[in-house]
Amino acid sequence: MNQSQKQQISDSSPEADPSSNNKKPAKVWDESRLIVLLIGLSLLAEGALIHYQAGDSQFLVAVVTGIAGLLMTFMAYFLPFEQEPEDEQESGDKQELENKQKSVESKTEEITQKIAEPESPATEKSLVKELVTGAEKPEAEPELSWIERLNKGLTKTRTGFIGKLKKLVLGSTKIDSDLLEELEEALYEADVGVKTTEELLAYLHEKVEKENITDPNQIYTLLKENLKDRLNKYAAPPTLSKDGLTVYLIIGVNGVGKTTTIAKLANYFTKEGKKVVLAAGDTFRAAAIDQICIWGERAKVDVIHGNEGGDPGALVFDAIHAAKKRNADLLIIDTAGRMHVKANLMSELKKIQKIAEKESCGGPHEILLVLDATTGQNAVQQAKQFNEALPLTGLVVTKLDGTAKGGVLFAVEEQISAPVKFIGVGEKMNDLMPFEPTEYLQALFADDTDKKKESDYNVVK
Ligand SMILES: Nc1nc2c(ncn2[C@@H]2O[C@H](COP(=O)(O)OP(=O)(O)OP(=O)(O)O)[C@@H](O)[C@H]2O)c(=O)[nH]1
Ligand SMILES: [Mg+2]
């Protein structure tokens, strides 16, 4: 129990209230006590009277009477008072106090137990179910096409990063060093990265000088073209084995969206007519197995899983053989989230990769690093270090719907010279697709009002 909880409990206990228990009984001059006092005083007066009237002859009687009076007066005043009986109100209060104390004691015990015991497996399971179900709440709006989802998902970046570029360039009347400097700043702010920004600026400078460009509109067009060329330079479709089982290994730091991406991939490839099997390779995080099993149920694909705390390498071995036995086309392996700076966790990934390589023909066909677009430049560092540990074949950029920057996609490809293979623009099963630079840029640069239907785009399928 921590200090503040202890404090809370002790503050609410009855002992904390000084007025509650130490109440002294009130002095009450009941009738009998008054009578004793009166008799005592009368005897005193009688003693004095006898002495006054009878003189020395009755001296002894007067003294005895006086002493008796004195004693009775003392008795009436100084003898300890009996505690008066509690009235009904007070005994009710006492009962209430006892009940309160009992309830505080049981509450203390309950809190202590809660802190000492971990969440029961049943509670954990229901929490996982809630998490996965939460991502699939029925939509109030009608089902959208991928292009509409993409367009919606990129709203923040379109109005943020791209909106700023548009305002800057199209709002200028001339091309000068101020404009180019502001442009540079906007690119940095949007996580486009130092290298890409410098190259972009050098390209614009050269074009402006060589072709004597004076219209800012042309700068805008040049910028768009350059960004498109950059994305096209790396673009590559997801690899699928021509014959036999294809194996995808999904890696990344904690919470970037690996397991959700796996569910989305299972959904996508199933719709493409492939038989997909999932491997619950995250044996580390509590309830990770339950999470992928629920996603598997939803995507209607088999999940090969072991026990929590088991060896992920052994699980991958079993999963490859189980997938082959089922004649699956694609096995997607989940892994536990890990920090890119932890060498021992990176070597565990290498071990998994070796097993996949040995047990499958030419696998893993994709080693996909999942990156959370909202983490900005940190995603670039992650890509660099994971790529040093394992040769990445591609990237999955998730949560593009949650960022107004969106430039990290350009930076990260340049950094490791590997393509973005999938992008995620939401939590739902249909919110992920293979990355197509053309449709991505069209959604990014589309005007919010006039480019909302799939037919408005020149979609590369
Ligand atoms: N908005 C949004 N949320 C996403 C996207 N992809 C995943 N998420 C959410 O990201 C959270 C984490 O997803 P997981 O799939 O559990 O992440 P993980 O990388 O497997 O996490 P660990 O296994 O703990 O390392 C979930 O709440 C997902 O719904 C996306 O493209 N957009
Ligand atoms: Mg996971």
Percent of the chain with pLDDT strictly greater than 90: 56
Summarised one tens digit per residue, pLDDT across range 164-199 is 998 999 888 899 999 999 999 999 999 999 999 999
Highest mean pLDDT among 66-70, 118-122, 280-284: 280-284
Task: Report whether residue 135 contacts ligand 1, using a CB cutoff of 6 Å.
Answer: yes
Task: Report whether residue 399 contacts ligand 1, using a CB cutoff of 6 Å.
Answer: yes
pLDDT for res 70: 83
Separation between Cα atoms, residue 265 and residue 279, nearest integer Å: 13
Backbone angles phi, psi at 166, to 5 degrees: -60, -50
Task: Report whether residue 258 contacts ligand 1, using a CB cutoff of 6 Å.
Answer: yes
Task: Report whether residue 340 contacts ligand 1, using a CB cutoff of 6 Å.
Answer: no
37 C-beta neighbours (distance < 10 Å), count? 17
Residue in the block written with tokens 């106090």:
97
User: What tokens does 31 get?
Assistant: 């009738």
Q: Encode 262-290: b = buried (16+ Cβ within 10 Å), e = exposed.
A: bbbbbbbbbeeeebbbbbbbbbbeebbbb
Summarised one tens digit per residue, pLDDT across range 119-169 is 444 445 555 555 565 455 544 556 899 999 999 999 999 999 999 998 999
Q: Which residues contact 336 (CB under 8 A, 6 or more apart)?
A: 281, 282, 283, 284, 285, 288, 312, 345
Distance between Cα 259 and ligand 1 center (Å): 7
- Between these two residues, 27 and 395, which has the higher pLDDT value? 395
**Residue of 421, 451, 417 lying closest to 434 (CA atoms):** 421
Of 155, 260, 290, 340, the one to substitute when testing ligand 1's pocket (max ligand atoms within 8 A of C-beta) is: 260
Separation between Cα atoms, residue 289 and residue 307, nearest integer Å: 8
Chain mean position to CA 370: 18
Task: Report whether residue 288 contacts ligand 1, using a CB cutoff of 6 Å.
Answer: yes
pLDDT for res 99: 67
Separation between Cα atoms, residue 74 and residue 69, nearest integer Å: 9
Backbone angles phi, psi at 302, to 5 degrees: -75, 145
Separation between Cα atoms, residue 460 and residue 354, nearest integer Å: 35
pLDDT for res 63: 84
CA dihedral 293, 420, 342, 389 (to 10 degrees): 110
The CA radius of gyration of the chain, in Å to the nearest whole number, is: 42
Separation between Cα atoms, residue 401 and residue 427, nearest integer Å: 9
User: What tokens does 63 get?
Assistant: 């003294």
